[in-house]
Structure 1
């Protein structure tokens, strides 16, 4: 046998294949994506998704018992297996979106904003009512919330509009983005969905501050926001009910919000520091929406307050990781888009954990990547994929923190 025909001595195991596919010398699109990607951020997200599957498995029996009725019996692990299927769909969405070129991702987000804004307008007409709120659109046997998909797309579109001020400070982007946010907020409050209204408005204000809008304008907007909250309390029954139930839980007619927050606190603290152990929780069976809005409390009962603290630290780590990575970002659009997506992720998590711990009034908002939900999981994966796309960078490129394009 000649040397040319002799089998190569190079190892062909998993490590060899990984080096061949993702080696720094490989100029293929997959290899370039792999080296430009923030792999630490991706690992933290995957860790959060894995924790979410464990949490849904813990909450699934309680929700199955609550929603079983007569001949309609739900298997104890029904929600866990469905969530596993949704995760299997969502992870490819996250990875594919993270590979998109920045221009393509921006155009997709702008087009998506228009589409889902139209769908949000259609919700009052063709929407499905669940638990007294018309927020969903039914497609076959499935339902989805247009607002969930609109969130990341709206943020990227708003970031693009505000980034145009870097080229021409005279452009009235404060007014344009303000009107867009006001339209979205009005449509959400019709559903009613006060929690999502707060998320959209908060992220818009954060983007304005990052974009360099004058402190005087920011102060005026905060004042307008305070007046808006008072107006909502006076003229918007849903906001008044939620605020009253939070501030005056012992009043007559406090309603289900009072019961939910009380049960969430009782479930959260039932397991102490280390928890009752997987499957050992009993208070969770009295908790409404154990697999969605109040899954953080279920984690507290079965895995302890220590596990809750670890989840909170994970959310904080993801947000801090993004903002630290953006400290020397030169491109105004990337800076705003990534900051806004990270802020939305953090604000939503903070609201959910605040509700579960009794620090905030009930808002019907899921915990990102932890709560059960198909459309929510896909929408979150879309947003995180965009965030990973906007934080990709050449590892050999040095940047100056003083240049803004």
Structure 2
């Protein structure tokens, strides 16, 4: 029975994160609706409730799949997402200088959000097939899938998602047991590629300039977010009592962390970070205990994806890194982000479910070098 095989700790933490996201959407929705001249003050909160329910349904449904069907689902999701991303330059919705969304009725779909977990599953699958030594060019196929995904992301352009996927891909590459020299080579290429975006994309250079020289650039977003976080103090102003949040751009999406910090304080902020840390640490621990190479790498890669995205969002809110439009998983407003996170955790829970022979006590990820 599914209930006795799924990790209930991770399921509970995820449910709590979704609930926190809905609660914070009620705190941020009135101010966001006012800034955007939307008559209904709870427009975003109501939609977030719908997205949260949808994410829960996806998460529970996908977590019931067996390993073979997780791979199949990832393959078709990746193909569909790539097809939509190819069509974006022609039919996509442009916002803030980027074409990342497909508008369907009143809903804007961001296909790259769904492509991320599917890509992690597929590259883990290819690495595992390459380990078997049966003539399948798994590594070459994995790099091909990664290259196609990154190329389409940079066309949009979406450098942040490219960095996110590159780190997750590198983590899967390392966890698959490849020689350290290959990992270092990939790291060098990734650093060179990231550095080149500074010269290729003006918005990247502008954000770096703002971060490095805040006195000579417009830092309105991060300044208002910092004021909101400071205003919260230790225990916060109280539910719905935030004042500084009204001046924070994108307070319901990229800067939702500052809203929570102002209304519930430092204690809540640390609790929220601890929930993400617990989810990722527990997930990586379960992944390390898996006996199948594919399941190990795929599950670990998915948890790295979630943890890294949460880290980037919080770091931006705290002005530790340059600004990037990255949502806080399950917390920020956004249908694509919420539903895709439900898919990501659903796949991770499916891979880490207890099955006969799935776990090998005392063994972690493979440290061999099967591709040498």
TM bracket, shorter-chain basis: over 0.9
Counterpart in 2 of 1:130?
95
| Unaligned segments of structure 2, at least 5 residues | none
Normalised TM-score (structure 1): 0.86
| 1:35-184 alignment, distance < 5 Å | 35-68=4-37, 73-168=38-133, 172-184=137-149
Cα 1:190–1:35 change in 2 (3 A) is same
Q: Is residue 340 of structure 1 aligned with residue 305 of structure 2?
A: no
> How far apart in 1 are the matches of 2:191 and 2:69?
38
Number of residue-to-residue matches in the alignment = 366
Counterpart in 2 of 1:186?
151
- 1:304 is displaced (CA, Å) by 0.4
- CA-atom RMSD, angstroms? 1.9
2:196 to 207, 231, 234: 231
Contact 2:210-2:322 within 8 A present in 1 as well: yes
Contact 1:349-1:367 within 8 A present in 2 as well: yes
> How far apart in 1 are the matches of 2:28 and 2:115?
28
2:207 to 230, 236, 242: 242
Cα 1:308–1:36 change in 2 (3 A) is same
Cα 1:188–1:40 change in 2 (3 A) is same
Contact 1:37-1:388 within 8 A present in 2 as well: yes
> How far apart in 1 are the matches of 2:312 and 2:21?
17
2:250 to 269, 285, 289: 289
Q: Deviations over 1:97-154 (max 9, x none)?
A: 1111211111111121111111111111110012222110011221110001111111
- 1:189 is displaced (CA, Å) by 1.8
Cα 1:116–1:396 change in 2 (3 A) is closer
Q: Deviations over 1:135-182 (max 9, x none)?
A: 100112211100011111111111111111221187543333223222
- 1:198 is displaced (CA, Å) by 0.7
Say which is worse superposed, 181-190 or 151-160, in terms of deviation.
181-190
| 1:208-287 alignment, distance < 5 Å | 208-251=173-216, 254-255=217-218, 258-287=219-248
Counterpart in 1 of 2:168?
203
Cα 1:286–1:328 change in 2 (3 A) is same
Counterpart in 1 of 2:352?
391
Normalised TM-score (structure 2): 0.94
Cα 1:109–1:240 change in 2 (3 A) is same
Query: What SS does structure 2 have at the residue aligned with 1:136?
Result: strand
> How far apart in 2 are the matches of 1:169 and 1:370?
44
- 1:380 is displaced (CA, Å) by 0.8
Cα 1:397–1:120 change in 2 (3 A) is closer
Q: Deviations over 1:57-107 (max 9, x none)?
A: 111111011011xxxx42222211111122222211111111112111111
Contact 2:290-2:358 within 8 A present in 1 as well: no
> How far apart in 2 are the matches of 1:369 and 1:361?
22
Cα 1:169–1:363 change in 2 (3 A) is farther
Counterpart in 2 of 1:11?
none
Counterpart in 1 of 2:337?
376
- 1:296 is displaced (CA, Å) by 0.2
Q: Is residue 328 of structure 1 aligned with residue 297 of structure 2?
A: no
- 1:326 is displaced (CA, Å) by 2.1
- 1:400 is displaced (CA, Å) by 4.6
Q: Deviations over 1:304-349 (max 9, x none)?
A: 0111111101000000001111222111111111111101000100
Q: Is residue 356 of structure 1 aligned with residue 317 of structure 2?
A: yes
- 1:276 is displaced (CA, Å) by 0.5
> How far apart in 1 are the matches of 2:192 and 2:276?
31
